Amino acid sequence: MTADPQTWDVIVIGAGPAGLFAARALSGKLSVLVLEEKARTGGAGAMTDGKLNLSPHIGLDLSELQLSEEEASERIARIDEVFLEHGADRTLYGVDAERIALWLDRVSWVRRRTHRGEWDITLLPARQRHMGTDLAHQVVARMTEAVAGNGATFSLRTKVDDIHQRGNGPFIVRTAKGQYLSRYLVAAPGREGAYWFREVARSLGVPTQYGAIDIGCRVEVALPVYDEITQVLYDPKFLFVTPTHGDRTRTFCTNPGGRVRVEIRNGSRLVNGDALKKRKTPNTNFAILNTVSMTEPIQDTTEMGRKVMEFANFWGGGDSLVVQRWGDLTEGRRSKAETFHSAALGYDKMPPTLPPGPGVTPGDISFAYPGRIVDNLRESLLLLSRVIPGVAHPSTTIYVPEIKFYDTKYRTDRHLETNVPNLFVAGDGVGKSRGIVGAALNGMLAAEGILRKEGKG
Ligand SMILES: Cc1cc2nc3c(=O)[nH]c(=O)nc-3n(C[C@H](O)[C@H](O)[C@H](O)COP(=O)(O)OP(=O)(O)OC[C@H]3O[C@@H](n4cnc5c(N)ncnc54)[C@H](O)[C@@H]3O)c2cc1C
* pLDDT above 70 for 5: no
Distance from C-alpha of 350 to C-alpha of 357, rounded to nearest angstrom: 16
pLDDT in the model for residue 189: 97
Comparing C-alpha atoms, which of 406, 442, 51 is closest to residue 211?
A: 406
Comparing C-alpha atoms, which of 103, 413, 79, 49 is closest to residue 236?
A: 103
The CATH number of the structural domain formed by 7-90+131-210+408-453 is 3.50.50.60
pLDDT in the model for residue 300: 87
Please check whether residue 14 is in contact with residue 429, taking contact to mean a CB–CB distance below 8 angstroms: yes
* pLDDT above 80 for 49: no
* Cis amide linkage into residue 401, ω under 30° from 0: yes
Handedness of CA 339, 341, 346, 351 (dihedral sign): positive
Domain ranges of the chain: 7-90+131-210+408-453, 97-126+212-404
pLDDT in the model for residue 1: 46
Pocket test for ligand 1, best of 20, 47, 49 (most atoms within 8 A of CB): 49
In the reported structure, the alpha carbon of residue 397 is separated from the centroid of ligand 1 by a whole-number distance in angstroms of 26
Half-sphere exposure in the Cβ direction for 76 (13 Å, CA): 25
Please check whether residue 229 is in contact with residue 122, taking contact to mean a CB–CB distance below 8 angstroms: no
Distance from C-alpha of 250 to C-alpha of 219, rounded to nearest angstrom: 12
Does the beta carbon of 37 sit less than 6 angstroms from any atom of ligand 1? yes
| Single-letter amino acid, residue 174 | R
Strand residue runs (E) in 36-107: 51-53
Distance from C-alpha of 453 to C-alpha of 457, rounded to nearest angstrom: 8
Does the beta carbon of 188 sit less than 6 angstroms from any atom of ligand 1? yes
pLDDT in the model for residue 116: 84
Comparing C-alpha atoms, which of 28, 5, 20, 12 is closest to residue 454?
A: 28
Tell the burial category of 90 from Cβ atoms under 10 Å away from its Cβ (0-12, 13-18, 19+): exposed
Render 12-28 in DSSP notation, one character per residue.
EE--SHHHHHHHHHHBT
Please check whether residue 121 is in contact with residue 111, taking contact to mean a CB–CB distance below 8 angstroms: yes
Atom of ligand 1 nearest to the CA of 192: 37
Q: Whose CA is nearest to atom 53 of ligand 1?
A: 44
pLDDT in the model for residue 285: 98
pLDDT in the model for residue 115: 85
pTM of the predicted model as reported, rounded to 2 decimal places: 0.91
- 405 pLDDT band, cuts 50/70/90, is confident
In the reported structure, the alpha carbon of residue 231 is separated from the centroid of ligand 1 by a whole-number distance in angstroms of 27
